[in-house]
Structure 1
């Protein structure tokens, strides 16, 4: 019996969705839910998980020490290209929820097999006479549920319009905001993550779901404001620390945060965001208090060069979007956002000069 399936077996899934499920399963009187999980690409992790009985250690790495938890929310692991196992999971009438972590590029059907895999699974479910289910994107993509829905339906319409109509009637695509920094671990059976975690969901689950709401997940009518909060408080601060930090020779977020000038610029950025964020002061205060603790954690090596990738596109969604919101509200663009963009431009000029 399979009640949960996942595509994109990796560190983040095991630190986030599987962790929430483990905690929900531990509630008094809980009816356990467990995952059949599939890798996105390499079969190596599925093989390692299978050999270990699909159990692994989750290490929450705080500034003061570690907390270890053995996770048993995954019952089976398969390589992503195991089409028979994939079809069999979707054909199981007990399947209620499919979660997905395939990164932002995984939603482009011309570059990734993920949408086609999901459609193949849904086709197998239709053929087996299966009932409705929820397909839940857990990637850092604005409106991820809507994006996944439109991608899958568009793909179905191109090959089987009847299947597209079946999907529209039988599958829901909730949107989510997810947050938990999870650095890569060299040990496939040990997942390193920070103590902080957040999950905000909007949408329906027609066949039920684990009691995620009782273990910290938040269900709301619209996830968009929470996506914006994360983008403009967490991610925009990451960009500020990255470009100012790289110019000063820093390598990680905690090193940049420890610099008085950089930290002051981040605090200024947050002050500039407040008038256009759309949240009550108490919620913003709580979010910022958590960020200050997270950024100062020296035991989670969140590298600036990783955050810097695709920097121009990220700045459009972060600093430039903040500046546009302030302009629409009749405010000046904001000095912190301009300083971040100027630092990015300086890094680009320096790298071009080295090449020339």
Structure 2
């Protein structure tokens, strides 16, 4: 039964939300499938439709590949097919809409995604389709509240009745998502790393797949898990990037293999530990999962890509860690300071684009 819709049909969605749904379906019971829409392009949905909407997910570990077919996408279309989009939302069987439109996709001034979602909700209201959950899966802090605020603001400006209907019928769970998925030129093959994580806080008034049975974590507040990812994974990426680029490395695995860079990352994790707010056992588990991810030479995560928007990222990562340590009566942290100094040196030498 197609009770799911998705906006942002791309590699990450097919490696993450669709993958979790496929695995939940394999447990038996009610089968959930997606009607998925791209932002604009027609090429991917045309290729998927020609293949019966089945594709192959390849998990690329250091020691080799593991493949599985994914059938959780029952139909796919270009997001510009407005009639199909409205029909998907109007379907009374629809229970959950997931969204991956990148962080920049939430600004209605520059992105069509918010207006498209609002049109979908308006179509559902008109059809009497009933309540549903709209779930942001983009890397934004409090992404559910961000999406709710954007859509409510648009609705208030155009149709206050729709705004009230949204208040009464639509939930906006917040999530933390994590899985590195490099771009693939083959529309029927998605390559990703073995690791995946999905943490969700919020209600699903019309039901959902058995995601909790296949590793999705449902919590009261997603904010601590966002911070854990930001300060352990993303801050380590900044350390690997700026120290690694100064040493001439190009990818995360190359930088992590260097003894001095690796030591700086380990020191960073030690600096984060006392201000992270998790028990040592959970922090240890999170760090233990990161080491093989960073060391994987078969997932080429380029440092020059991570380096972009460096000042903004450092403010959310190293400088936020330093502020938390200072507030706790600790030193700012040598690894954090070294990462910022390396960034400044890269800017001075104009080694890569960091804006």
CA distance in structure 1 between the aligned counterparts of 2:198 and 2:320, rounded to whole angstroms: 23
Asked if structure 1 preserves the Cα contact closer than 8 Å seen for 2:307 and 2:352, the reply is no
CA distance in structure 2 between the aligned counterparts of 1:192 and 1:129, rounded to whole angstroms: 40
Does 2:196 align with 1:197?
Answer: yes
- Quote how far apart the aligned CAs of 1:2 are: 3.1
1:282-325 Cα deviation digits (max 9, x unpaired) = 00000000000111111110111111111111111100110111
Q: How many residues were matched structurally?
A: 353
- SS of the counterpart of 2:314? helix
Asked if structure 2 preserves the Cα contact closer than 8 Å seen for 1:2 and 1:89, the reply is no
Asked if structure 2 preserves the Cα contact closer than 8 Å seen for 1:24 and 1:30, the reply is no
Asked if structure 1 preserves the Cα contact closer than 8 Å seen for 2:173 and 2:201, the reply is yes
TM-score for the superposition, normalised by structure 2: 0.98
- Quote how far apart the aligned CAs of 1:141 are: 0.6
Partner of 2:3: 3
- Quote how far apart the aligned CAs of 1:352 are: 8.4
Partner of 1:262: 261
Partner of 1:217: 216
- SS of the counterpart of 1:208? coil
CA distance in structure 1 between the aligned counterparts of 2:85 and 2:41, rounded to whole angstroms: 15
Partner of 2:61: 62
RMSD of Structure 2 on Structure 1 (CA)? 1.2
- SS of the counterpart of 1:142? coil
1:21-46 Cα deviation digits (max 9, x unpaired) = 0000000x321000000001322111
Partner of 1:287: 286
CA distance in structure 2 between the aligned counterparts of 1:113 and 1:202, rounded to whole angstroms: 26
1:150-204 Cα deviation digits (max 9, x unpaired) = 0000010011111011011100000000000000011111000000000000000
Partner of 1:22: 22
Does 2:99 align with 1:117?
Answer: no
Partner of 1:272: 271
Structure 1: 5+ residue runs without aligned partners?
Answer: none
- Quote how far apart the aligned CAs of 1:353 are: 12
Asked if structure 2 preserves the Cα contact closer than 8 Å seen for 1:181 and 1:193, the reply is yes
Structure 2: 5+ residue runs without aligned partners?
Answer: none
- SS of the counterpart of 2:350? helix
CA distance in structure 2 between the aligned counterparts of 1:232 and 1:317, rounded to whole angstroms: 8
Equivalences for residues 21-100 of structure 1 within 5 A? 21-27=21-27, 29-100=28-99
Asked if structure 1 preserves the Cα contact closer than 8 Å seen for 2:304 and 2:352, the reply is no
CA distance in structure 2 between the aligned counterparts of 1:310 and 1:40, rounded to whole angstroms: 23
Partner of 2:249: 250
1:306-352 Cα deviation digits (max 9, x unpaired) = 11111111111100110111111111110101100111111111118
- Quote how far apart the aligned CAs of 1:130 are: 1.0
Partner of 2:325: 326
Please list every run of at least 4 consecutive aligned residues from structure 1 whose deviation after the TM superposition is greater than 6 angstroms: none
CA distance in structure 2 between the aligned counterparts of 1:107 and 1:352, rounded to whole angstroms: 31
1:73-112 Cα deviation digits (max 9, x unpaired) = 0000000100000000011000000000000000111111
